[in-house]
Amino acid sequence: MMGANQGWARHVAFILRLAVQGLVALATGALYAYVARLVLARPTSADAQRANHAFAFWWGAFGAVEFLAGAYSIPAAFGYRDLAMVITLLNVLLFLIAVAIGALVYYLVYLYTGSSRSYWPIVGAYVALGIALMYLVAWMQPTGYDESSPSLTLQYTRQLVGAPAIALGLLLSVPVVLAAVGYGSLFFRTEGGEQRFRVALVAGSFLVWFGWSTVSSILQLQQKYPDSAALQALNSLIALAAPLLVIMAFRPPGWIRARLGARVWPQPPGT
């Protein structure tokens, strides 16, 4: 009887955990979509329009990633299993993530250089990366679900571990960190308090987000603790904090505007 009760308790905990993850992902996706809309609504110069669209695409694409992940997690919590569906979804999400990161890198590079010459090289590189990630999924050969895992992870015939896994994580995070550092350096070359505030928050949000991703990749935290609720909660918290900081950068509260001495919050083109 005790064993049956424990099994039932684990089953309920599994359902609750996946359902909560799904709801958090849906809420995060909605927040990202709001930021994308906010970015698109900003007035920009003709030269900066492509960069602004790239920034909006980053938020919109990541919003779609979170929404799709959440939309699958909730029915999966209640027993829905379709390996072909989840592999298809995984490929779509990986490609979206790769292209979205490329859009973010271009945006930050544009803000630092003021030039759009890097657009096509960056787009081409990250589209190729997205295709490579889909090939990687096929190479690893998903075979089914690990039903013993509280987070319902996939099982693979082959595993990407050690140095190759670290290199892949760094390939996704380090370019954003470097671009954010470059953009953040404008803080020391900008005189207006409101512009410096915006640079600090936007650059800082991505440095924290992708800096943590870099550290996580080097330490292989996801591989070592795939079912850690604390690690997943921390990742979700950081992913939620970044868009909130960006919203504050573009639409700061009145007390911050007053402190910076800005009656009307300026929106300079492309920043």
Domains of the chain, with CATH numbers? 8-260 (1.20.1070.10)
| Residue bearing the bigger pLDDT, 23 or 17 | 23
Rounded to an integer, what distance in angstroms lies between the CA atom of residue 73 and that of residue 82? 12
Task: Provide the whole-model pTM.
Answer: 0.85
The arithmetic mean of pLDDT across residues 244-269, rounded, is: 71
Whether the Cβ atoms of residue 145 and residue 155 lie closer than 8 Å to each other: yes
Report residue 213's pLDDT band, with 50, 70 and 90 as the boundaries. Answer: very high
Rounded to an integer, what distance in angstroms lies between the CA atom of residue 179 and that of residue 177? 6
| End-to-end CA separation in angstroms for the chain | 63
Tokens describing residue 222: 């996801």
Question: Could you give the angle at the alpha carbon of 183 between the alpha carbons of 180 and 188, nearest 5°?
Answer: 125
Whether the Cβ atoms of residue 24 and residue 66 lie closer than 8 Å to each other: no
Condensed to tens digits (0 to 9), the pLDDT of residues 33-51 reads 999 999 998 888 888 899 9
pLDDT score, position 268: 42
Rounded to an integer, what distance in angstroms lies between the CA atom of residue 205 and that of residue 58? 14
Condensed to tens digits (0 to 9), the pLDDT of residues 60-115 reads 999 999 999 888 888 887 878 889 999 999 999 999 999 999 999 999 999 889 89
Report residue 17's pLDDT band, with 50, 70 and 90 as the boundaries. Answer: confident
The arithmetic mean of pLDDT across residues 240-257, rounded, is: 86
> Using CA of residue 212, residue 214, residue 215, residue 220, what is the dihedral sign?
positive
Q: Quick one: which H or E segment has residue 143?
A: strand 142-145
Question: 69: closest CA among 28, 98, 36, 10?
Answer: 28
